[in-house]
Amino acid sequence: MRSVKPVQTRRQSTDTFIQPALKYSTHVFVRRDALRRPLDATYEGPYKVLKRETKYYTIDKNGHEENVSIDRLKAAYLEGKPFDVQLATTPPKLDMSKVAMPQATTNEQVEIQKSSITPRATRSGRNVRFPEHLNEYYVY
């Protein structure tokens, strides 16, 4: 029994992945470590980087500076400057001569269409009746 020694404990690794692009990014996303509801975003941001240190970055978060560990950061890849879009000041005019106006239907046409509806049957031969308010809809 004296020769039996305890087994060495396993070394716990706490290494985290840090993006190489994080060094050069102007904006970053911050991971939310709190308990989240379903479909909540994992990251917040993007936030502008103000100062870089070896273990943390200072970011501008909603108007005030905040120090965030680099373990919680992810580089934000932003598009270039957005281009200006010139919006029309007046709406375009429609040419009413080319617009098709719907034709009014007579009661006779509606009655003919309703009477020509056949009872629906499934592929197995079972008859199906739909509610009256759905008779106006046609399935092709």
Q: What is the dihedral of CA 40, 41, 47, 52, to 10 degrees?
A: 120
pLDDT tens-digit map of 26-37: 999 999 988 889
Q: Is 108 left (phi over 0), alpha (psi -120 to 50) or beta?
A: alpha
For 86, the token pair is 């010139």
CB 59 within 8 A of CB 49: yes
Show the domains of the chain with their CATH numbers.
20-75 (2.30.30.140)
3-state SS, residue 35: coil
Predicted TM-score (pTM) of the model is 0.49
> Mean pLDDT in the chain?
78
| Distance between CA atoms of residues 46 and 49, nearest Å | 9
pLDDT value at residue 68 = 95
pLDDT tens-digit map of 77-122: 887 654 454 555 555 666 666 666 666 666 555 555 555 556 678 8
Query: Bridge-partner residues for 73, per DSSP?
Result: 30
pLDDT value at residue 71 = 92
CB 47 within 8 A of CB 5: no
pLDDT tens-digit map of 62-73: 899 999 999 999
